[in-house]
Chain A
Amino acid sequence: MTAISYLEAIREAIDEEMARDPDVFLLGADIGAAGGAFKVTDGLLARYGASRVIDTPLSEIAIVGAAAGAAHMGMRPVVELPALGSIANASDMLANYVATARYRAGLSCPMVVRGHAGGYGGGPFHVRSAEAGFVHVPGLKVVYPATAEDAKGLMKAAIRDDDCVLFFEHADLYGRIKGVMPAGDHVVPIGKARVAREGTDVSIITYAAALWKVVDAARELALLGISAEVLDLRTLAPLDDDAIEATVRKTHRALVVHEDTRTGGLAGEITARINERCFEWLDAPVLRVTAHDVPLPFARSLEDRVLPQTPDIVLAVKRLVSY
């Protein structure tokens, strides 16, 4: 079994679903002839033709709105937005139209909106974390895989889902992270977190690329005799409350880590849920390690300062266990 990259895993999932279901089609700028800005959809135009891999004008509102219209009619569009930072341009269509269509009007929107969001060295727009705002909107589902296996399995689940799923991809993971795909029809259920590392002293709850910084931190902590459990959320909406509760009840200490900015970030929501569901099980306050509240700068030294790093996570865990 050969390992494939996070990017190849996403492509493989889309390819398998297009082969399986003729209603699945792709919509986006530069996805056909160019194969996508990062080549995620490379080769699919040749394989499925221009009626299933549709290059569009540079129009985020129209692409997302058109996907919704096609989805109403029973198709399953998979939309690529060029850098999910630009998802803000489609916010009205997603939050006002797509998210409310079923509740207001009984119209279903089985569609996926995907693209790279996080990443490094891209500056304030190309790698801006944009997930929290959409997690806040009732009616949308949000997934953000950290591993190649989950990238494939969650994409297949997203395409088959009867609601709109926002599929965030981390540009730095595209080539760096590889995995061996499970055999057969590999589908990872939406709404289920995964224990990425077992531990007993502290729970570190995270998602996307931050997972790999957390895993590094957990290794360092192990050398110091601190056993950290790592929970990879995988799905951000709906959150897996049961998995969060289970790990907190096990370790009695919780740290939430994400590369998104701090204020209004998901860590606040997760902290509130832990307080509501298992306050009595806590031996210390819930802490968070996040990006600082600034637009993400471009130069590496500045970006490293703004984003959470492994030493920040180690330090926060030390604070937690000494509480």
Chain B
Amino acid sequence: MPPRDKAPVRAVARRGGVAPSAGLSREQKLELYYWMRLTRSLEERLVALSGEEKVVGELFRSLGQEADAVGSCFALERRDVMSPLARNLGAMLVKGATPVEVLRQYLGRADAPSRGRERNLRFGDLARGFIGQLSPLGDMVPVMAGGTLSFRLRGEDRVGLVFVGDGATSTGAFHEGINFAAVNKCPLVVVVENNGYAYSTPTSRQSLARQLVDKAAGYGVPGEQADGNDVLAVYDVARRAVDRARAGEGVTLIELLTYRRAGHAGHDDQSYVPSGEIDTWASENDPLDRFARVLSGREKVPAAELGAIDQRVQAEVEQATALAEASPLPDASDALSGIYADPPG
């Protein structure tokens, strides 16, 4: 498999020639760095907690993919709604999920957002504008099509963004959902996070399409592709798609090219990955390293300033961990309620 950073990135139609990221302030760029660093540090803490057998179930890491989740969600407003994958921790954080909520979810605690009923990032809050995913991949595309249809029907100035992986593009739900959204001019951005593998299946075994963004043509919607490890490039394509959705121009399909470095989940030894591939991505194409270089170079951010962000993140993770570890386990009596709004007698 060719390194994915060498994959052809389709030229995107730029409006007015100016990339939206050019309009980001220095503070906003530091914020992007903060979210990416928080994502990585929080996951590193989860790895440690998993080693201590405190994490219930599998750990799904976004190592090396932090930029695509953070950059695309950074284009949303608070009133907009997003649905992430298990590997989109950064998107959740940008949308307002807190580290302690995430830790409580993974530790299966009573005061976790899902009260121990559902695992990892599968929780949502409509007030903050995110809806958790479920196991059948691709299913959130129809759901988000309907959510955004309601925005259009009610004349609300809101858009939706839904993440799917390369594997989900092979599902019926993805096809039906994006087609439904396209036909109904739903203000929806569909982000295909192409990280090279769906569990052990390489993208070349998912589809004969030259690139997944080509599928956009079949739905009659614009498609854009970007380097998913360049957080500003991700922001640019996402922002253009969000703007189009907000302007009533309907669906955009975005393909973000990235790479999954830590396997499908904790149990995955990645024996099927060609030797050296992971190391190459780690050493040559780490999204945090790349953005730190941009910040210290072009943006002239002093190393001490980035270091201070790293320290702030560490302190936040420490504090959240202490809170989460002190959280109670769910009381068994909570298992049988809350299935219906009005429980039958």
Question: Chain B contacts of A106 at CB under 8 A?
Answer: 113-114, 124, 338
Kindly state whether residue A159 has any CB partner on chain B within 8 Å.
Answer: no
> Could you jot down 12 A-B contacts, CB within 8 Å?
A59-B176, A59-B180, A65-B139, A65-B143, A66-B149, A72-B146, A73-B151, A93-B173, A104-B117, A106-B124, A161-B341, A163-B342
Contact with A163, one of B136, B144, B183, B340 (Cβ below 8 angstroms): B340
Question: Chain A contacts of B142 at CB under 8 A?
Answer: 59, 61-66, 68-69, 93
Kindly state whether residue B184 has any CB partner on chain A within 8 Å.
Answer: yes
From 283 to 304 in chain B, residues with beta carbon under 8 angstroms from any chain A beta carbon are none
Kindly state whether residue B220 has any CB partner on chain A within 8 Å.
Answer: no
Kindly state whether residue B179 has any CB partner on chain A within 8 Å.
Answer: yes
Q: A61-B172, A69-B143, A105-B131 are in contact. Are A163 and B341 (CB under 8 A)?
A: yes
Question: Chain A contacts of B148 at CB under 8 A?
Answer: 69
Q: Are B131 and A73 in contact (CB under 8 A)?
A: no
Question: Chain A contacts of B338 at CB under 8 A?
Answer: 102-103, 106
Kindly state whether residue B208 has any CB partner on chain A within 8 Å.
Answer: no
Kindly state whether residue B307 has any CB partner on chain A within 8 Å.
Answer: no
Tell me the A residues contacting B by CB distance below 8 Å: 25, 51-52, 54, 56-57, 59-75, 77, 92-93, 96-97, 100, 102-108, 110, 138-139, 141, 161-163, 191, 238
Question: Chain A contacts of B145 at CB under 8 A?
Answer: 62, 65-66, 69
Question: Chain B contacts of A139 at CB under 8 A?
Answer: 339-340
Q: Which residue of A lies closest to B338 (CB)?
A: A103
Contacts A64-B142, A96-B136, A106-B113 supplied; 18 other A-B pairs, CB < 8 Å = A25-B153, A57-B180, A62-B176, A62-B180, A63-B180, A65-B139, A66-B177, A66-B181, A69-B142, A69-B150, A92-B136, A102-B338, A104-B117, A107-B124, A139-B339, A141-B340, A162-B341, A191-B344
Q: Are B143 and A68 in contact (CB under 8 A)?
A: yes
Q: Are A57 and B341 in contact (CB under 8 A)?
A: no
Q: A64-B142, A69-B149, A75-B150 are in contact. Are A103 and B176 (CB under 8 A)?
A: no
Q: Are B342 and A162 in contact (CB under 8 A)?
A: yes
Q: Which residue of A lies closest to B340 (CB)?
A: A163
Q: Are A57 and B339 in contact (CB under 8 A)?
A: no
Say how far B109's CB is from chain A's closest CB, in angstroms. 16
Residue from A51, A52, A61, A107 whose CB has the most chain B CB atoms within 10 Å: A61
Contact with B146, one of A65, A96, A100, A163 (Cβ below 8 angstroms): A65
Q: Are A102 and B340 in contact (CB under 8 A)?
A: yes
Q: Are B150 and A96 in contact (CB under 8 A)?
A: no
Kindly state whether residue B9 has any CB partner on chain A within 8 Å.
Answer: no
Kindly state whether residue B275 has any CB partner on chain A within 8 Å.
Answer: no
Number of A-B contacts (CB under 8 A): 139
Cα A93 to Cα B176 in complex, Å, equals 12
Q: Are B146 and A102 in contact (CB under 8 A)?
A: no
Residue from A61, A69, A100, A105 whose CB has the most chain B CB atoms within 10 Å: A69
Encode B136-176 as 1/0 by CB contact (under 8 A) with A.
10010111111111110110000000000000000011001
Tell me the B residues contacting A by CB distance below 8 Å: 113-114, 117-118, 122-124, 126, 131-132, 134-136, 139, 141-151, 153-154, 172-173, 176-177, 179-181, 183-184, 338-342, 344
Q: Are B341 and A72 in contact (CB under 8 A)?
A: no
Cα A71 to Cα B144 in complex, Å, equals 11
Q: Are B147 and A56 in contact (CB under 8 A)?
A: no
Question: Chain A contacts of B340 at CB under 8 A?
Answer: 102, 139, 141, 163
Question: Chain B contacts of A52 at CB under 8 A?
Answer: 153
Contact with A105, one of B132, B141, B147, B149 (Cβ below 8 angstroms): B132
Q: Are B134 and A96 in contact (CB under 8 A)?
A: yes
Q: Which residue of B lies closest to A73 (CB)?
A: B150
Q: A102-B339, A105-B114, A162-B341 are in contact. Are A69 and B180 (CB under 8 A)?
A: no
Question: Chain B contacts of A138 at CB under 8 A?
Answer: 339
Cα A141 to Cα B341 in complex, Å, equals 11
Say how far A54's CB is from chain B's closest CB, in angstroms. 7
Say how far A166's CB is from chain B's closest CB, in angstroms. 14
Question: Chain B contacts of A104 at CB under 8 A?
Answer: 114, 117-118, 122, 132, 134
Q: Are A93 and B139 in contact (CB under 8 A)?
A: yes
Cα A27 to Cα B117 in complex, Å, equals 31
Q: Are B131 and A107 in contact (CB under 8 A)?
A: yes
Say how far A154's CB is from chain B's closest CB, in angstroms. 15
Q: Which residue of A lies closest to B132 (CB)?
A: A105
Cα A141 to Cα B183 in complex, Å, equals 30
Q: Which residue of B lies closest to A71 (CB)?
A: B146
Q: A63-B180, A73-B151, A105-B132 are in contact. Are A238 and B339 (CB under 8 A)?
A: no
Question: Chain B contacts of A71 at CB under 8 A?
Answer: 146
Cα A298 to Cα B151 in complex, Å, equals 44
Q: Are A97 and B134 in contact (CB under 8 A)?
A: yes
Question: Chain A contacts of B114 at CB under 8 A?
Answer: 104-106
Q: Are A92 and B124 in contact (CB under 8 A)?
A: no
Say how far B166's CB is from chain A's closest CB, in angstroms. 20
Q: Which residue of A lies closest to B135 (CB)?
A: A96
Question: Chain B contacts of A65 at CB under 8 A?
Answer: 139, 141-143, 145-146, 173, 176-177
Question: Chain B contacts of A25 at CB under 8 A?
Answer: 153
Cα A107 to Cα B122 in complex, Å, equals 12
Q: Are B124 and A105 in contact (CB under 8 A)?
A: yes
Cα A74 to Cα B154 in complex, Å, equals 11
Question: Chain A contacts of B113 at CB under 8 A?
Answer: 106
Contact with B147, one of A70, A96, A108 (Cβ below 8 angstroms): A70
Question: Chain A contacts of B153 at CB under 8 A?
Answer: 25, 51-52, 70, 75
Question: Chain A contacts of B184 at CB under 8 A?
Answer: 54, 56
Cα A27 to Cα B219 in complex, Å, equals 20
Q: Are B134 and A57 in contact (CB under 8 A)?
A: no
Q: Are B177 and A62 in contact (CB under 8 A)?
A: yes
Cα A116 to Cα B6 in complex, Å, equals 54
Cα A77 to Cα B149 in complex, Å, equals 11
